[in-house]
Amino acid sequence: MFAVLLAPLVLSLQIAVVATLLAGSLALGLIALTHGRRSAALFDAVLTAPLVLPPTVLGYYLLTVLGRRSALGGAWEALTGSSFVFTRTGAVIAATITALPLVLQSARAAIDAVDPTLLDAARTLGATRLAALRRVALPLASRGVAAGLLLGFARACGDFGVTLMIAGNIPGETQTASLALYDAVLAGRDADARVLAVALTLVAVVMIGAVQWLGRRAHAR
Amino acid sequence: MRGDVLTAKLLARLDNFTLDVSLQAPVGVTTLFGPSGSGKTSTLRAISGLVKLDSGFVKLNDTAWTTLPPERRELGYVFQSSALFPHLTVEQNVEFGARTPEEVARWMKRLRLESARERKPSTLSGGEAQRVALARALARRPRVLLLDEPFSSLDAGLREELVGEIKELVEAEQLVTLLVTHSREEAERLGGRFLHLVGGKIP
């Protein structure tokens, strides 16, 4: 039984790791481009929307943009011979999109909280705008960024709706723990459902606990 | 001996007033004196490039600084709050923008910071923090030194000591130095030239 349940759990963790790294890179890249600029609010509003949009709506948008008949999806398929839809690549994209708002919000708040005089000082000491962010703001905001990554990981690990819409529910290929849990409930496999639910809950609790620990350390400084 | 002259004509519409200042500062101390909110700090920020000008110019001798970003202007800036990087040690702060390791060693020694090299800014006294900020600015080997109320958080003894220190440094290094203060007494002790700012203008 455990081997059957282990595969979706491992896949969830693998997808969450890649998605968190991607979301972290996207969030930091976007913050670097928009820090201190008016456009930051606009980008943040658009990229935070997945937090409140129904997963089906988000999945629909992703299918529209990345589906086989879309320009992007077609170009990707011509280039790699594979599709975004019903593949692990699609599952990673779904998890990245759902993790991004949490990573972006947390990292943005932490970087915005850094005293702007420190960034001004760095500029007068020869650092470019980007170097000042990298050498001063990022180290000082590292706990906030780490908290965002942990929350993003927990969210990516547990995604259901968006993953189902774009990657489907293919056992051994795109069936993550959340999807396997759904299948187990539908098939009346209560014991399997319980194990998966407890495992996903543990991941979430450990991540939230780590975020709280980071918060306490930041206050204790 | 250098004979640098900083010339600036600054026009910038800021949040609650308009900065409209023309000044010329040769080597030595030029003190910007005036009440709170008169535009002293904004003048330094405009010269350093941290505030964008609506019109006007900044130049050092014949070299235009107006379109250069702050990091490419040959200046050192000591902020009122010291603005030391809290995640770095004293030595790492001084190294941050230093031209060479020799400059770091020189200013650490000159400003008596060698015994504090491994300490974090949060453990420094106000006087020590301002000395680190000064060493950090000078290790960049600037030609223009901007000092924004560097003595305001210091007690009388430390203030006296740092005033003497700065006076000596400016003469030895032949620096164009702009000092912001709201204390007439401080300004007079440093000597040099005085510019009185009122409402963002030099009347």
The total number of structural domains in chain B stands at: 2
In this structure, are B101 and B159 located in the same domain? Answer: no
Q: Virtual CA dihedral for A114, A120, A125, A130, nearest 10 degrees? A: 70
The residues spanned by each domain of chain A are 2-57+86-220
Taking the CA of residue A164 and the nearest CA in chain B, the distance in Å comes to 44
Looking at the predicted structure, is the pLDDT value of residue A177 above 60?
yes
Segment B40-53 mean pLDDT: 94
- CB pair distance less than 8 Å for B70 and A124: yes
Out of B50, B75, B97, whose CB is closest to A120? B50
CB atoms B71 and A120 under 8 Å:
no
In angstroms, the CA B74 to CA B84 distance is 19
Quick one: average pLDDT of B18-31? 92
Chain B residues touching residue A120 (CB < 8 angstroms): 45, 50, 70, 77, 79, 83
Query: Where in the sequence is the domain holding B87, given as residue range(s)?
Result: 83-141
Shared domain for B67 and B3, answered yes or no, is yes
Sheet holding B28-33, edge to edge: B75-78, B144-148, B176-181, B28-33, B193-196
Domain boundary among B95, B119, B141: B141
The contact set of A with B (CB < 8 A) is 115, 117-118, 120-129, 131, 135-136, 139-140
Task: Give the confidence band of B102 by pLDDT, cuts at 50, 70, 90.
Answer: very high
pLDDT of residue A135: 97
Backbone angles phi and psi of B191, in degrees to 5: 70, -155
Same domain, B64 and B161: yes
pLDDT value of position A37: 86
Residue of B nearest to A136 (CA): B85
Q: Give me the pLDDT at residue A146, please.
A: 94
- Cα dihedral: A64, A67, A70, A75 (round 10): 140
Give the full edge-to-edge strand order of the sheet including B55-60: B18-26, B5-13, B55-60, B63-64
Nearest CB to A140; choose among B70, B79, B86? B86
Same domain flag for B156 and B65: yes
Residue A143, pLDDT > 70, answer: yes
pLDDT single digits (tens) A100-128:
999 999 999 999 999 999 999 999 999 99
Provide the CATH number for the domain formed by A2-57+86-220 in this structure: 1.10.3720.10
Q: What percent of chain B is modeled with pLDDT above 90?
A: 64
- The pLDDT of residue B1: 54
pLDDT tens-digit profile of B131-141?
999 999 999 99
- Check whether residue B106 and residue B166 sit in a common domain: no
Helix (H, G, I), strand (E, B) or coil at B70: helix
Per the DSSP assignment, residues forming a β-bridge with B148 are B180
pLDDT confidence of residue B167: 84
Asked if B69 and B148 sit in the same domain, the reply is yes
pLDDT of A1: 62
**Which positions in chain B touch A139 (Cβ < 8 Å)?**
87
pLDDT, one tens digit per residue, over A44-76 is 999 999 989 999 999 999 999 999 889 999 999
